[in-house]
């Protein structure tokens, strides 16, 4: 098998998790998450940061870090728009994609 055939197969393979994701999205609504206030505030701070500097070429590891930081910022946006304080916690309805990204980051 050539590299071209192998990567063609990989390209086709990525369609399957996309189809699974579509089914998950229509079957699972938002996930209610309770966060310690400090964690919620850190997420909101990530959303409010100004990252106006241009991107330099980056390594794969740097890309993964930036991608994780972007996921955090999107959670911060959701918290800032819809989060509610309950004592020392913040309660937020996260879409399943954001909840999944947070879960993957914990592993």
Q: What is the pLDDT of residue 54?
A: 65
pLDDT in tens, the chain (107 residues): 788 888 889 988 999 998 998 898 889 889 999 999 999 999 999 999 987 766 778 899 988 898 899 999 999 999 999 999 999 999 999 998 899 899 999 88
Q: What is the pLDDT of residue 1?
A: 74
Q: Is the pTM of this model over 0.85?
A: no
Beta bridge partners of 34: 91
Q: How far apart are CA 34 and CA 95, in angstroms?
A: 14
Domain residue ranges in the chain: 29-105
Residues near 80 by Cβ (< 8 Å), separated by ≥ 6? 44, 47, 48
């Amino acid at each position: 098998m050539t590299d071209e055939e192998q990567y063609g197969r990989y390209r086709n393979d990525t369609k399957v998790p996309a189809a699974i994701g579509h089914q998950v999205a229509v079957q699972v609504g938002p996930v209610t998450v309770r966060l310690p206030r400090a964690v919620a505030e850190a997420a909101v701070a990530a959303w409010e940061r100004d990252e106006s500097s241009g991107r330099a070429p980056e390594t794969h590891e740097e890309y993964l870090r930036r991608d994780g930081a972007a996921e955090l910022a999107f959670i911060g946006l959701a918290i800032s728009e819809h989060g509610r304080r309950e004592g020392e916690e913040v309660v937020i309805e996260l879409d399943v994609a954001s909840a999944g990204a947070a879960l993957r980051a914990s592993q």
